Amino acid sequence: MIRLQNVTKTYTRAGTLEVIALDDVSLDIVKGEFVFVVGPSGSGKSTFMKLLTREQIADNGEVWVAGKNLATLRAWKVPLLRREIGYVFQDFKLLGNKTVYENVAFALEVIGTGKREIDRRVPEMLELVGLSDKAHAQPHELSGGQQQRVSIARAFVNKPRILLCDEPTGNLDPATSVGIMKLLDRINRTGTTVVMATHDQQIVDSMRRRVIELAGGVIVRDQSRGVYGYGA
């Protein structure tokens, strides 16, 4: 589902200074896996996620996502790639001028889904994330956890094959985070591949899923049923 082969990505900052974000990274993530990507800030997590959505393009090596080689993917096909990927942000990125329902429906509208299909899928999705009763609330009326549920509903409403979550619990308290993780786990059980970048040690330890640890742009650990740090 996701394959990186000898991928290198560097940024040029302040003119000449080169920063190596990913250095010769290779990995495979198969369909239906649940993978944590951990590591300190600046370890290359964000770059990894951005390569998968083709917001960034690797300098060297190959990135394959959902059967597509992103290096040779035509620009006009990028939107099609992104329809196979749901993206959940740390800060939710809900549109404040739309209701919960409209926020979720928006993701379908802008890819040209018919109205009848939207009317069928959005309530279904709100039901899945447990927010059927908040359909007509504004995002600012919701708690952080509820907003993240809306954001997940929006990411998953067009049934993508991959769900990328960038620190989805970063702004939430531990109790709320557990609820979000249960939701992601349920989505994963539908066969959706979930990749989650996180700092949250407690969550990683409790889930016991595959852990890929990055440090300084290289994979320092790739462990199935792993925990956040060494030693556990």
Partner 1 sequence: MTGRWRYLLYEAFIGLRRNLMMTVAVVLSVTVSLTLLGASLLLSTQVDLATDDWIGRVEVSIFLCDDRTCPAITSEQQETLRQDLEANDVVAEVFYESKRDAYIRFVELFSDQPTLVESITEDTLPASFRVRLENPALFNVIRDEFEAYPGVEEIVDQREVLNQFLRFTNVVRNGALAVAAIQLVAAGVLIANTIRVAAFARREQTAVMRLVGAGNWYIRLPFVLEGVIAGVLGAFVSWGLLYATVPRIAGNLARDIELLPFIGASHVFAVGGWLLLAGTGIAAVSSLLALRKFLDV
Query: For residues 44 and 134, what is the distance between their CA atoms, to the nearest angstrom?
Result: 37
Separation in Å, CA 62 to CA 2, 44, 106: 11, 16, 32
Q: Nearer to partner 1 by C-beta: 28 or 91?
A: 91
Beta carbon of residue 53, minimum distance to partner 1 (angstroms, whole number): 7
Cα separations in angstroms, 14 against 17, 18, 151, 222: 6, 9, 35, 33
Nearer to partner 1, 93 or 208 (CB): 93
Which CB, 68 or 221, lies closer to partner 1?
68
Listed residue (79, 77, 61) closest to 7, CA to CA: 61
**Rounded least distance, CB 205 to partner 1, Å:** 30
User: Tokens 């709100």 identify what position?
Assistant: 126
Task: Report the nearest approach of partner 1 to the CB of residue 111 (Å).
Answer: 5
Distance in Å from the first CA to the final CA of the chain: 29
| Cβ 225 to partner 1 shortest distance, Å | 30
Residue 83 or 221 having the CB closest to partner 1: 83
Report the helix count and the strand count for the chain, using DSSP H and E.
Answer: 7, 10
Using an 8 Å Cβ cutoff, are 197 and 22 in contact?
no
SS3 labels along 5-74: EEEEEEEEECCCEEEEEEEEEEEEECCCCEEEEECCCCCCHHHHHHHHCCCCCCCEEEEEECCEECCCCC
Using CB under 8 A as the criterion, which residues of the chain lie in contact with partner 1 when the complex forms? Answer: 53-54, 75-76, 78-85, 87, 93, 95, 106-107, 109-112, 114-115, 154-155, 158
Minimum gap (Å) between residue 196 Cβ and partner 1 = 16
In whole angstroms, the minimum distance from the beta carbon of 198 to partner 1 comes to 19
Strand order in the sheet with 60-65: 17-29, 2-13, 60-65, 68-69
Q: Which is nearer to partner 1, 23 or 102 (CB)?
A: 102
Considering the complex, state which of residue 78 and residue 215 has its C-beta at the smaller distance from partner 1.
Answer: 78
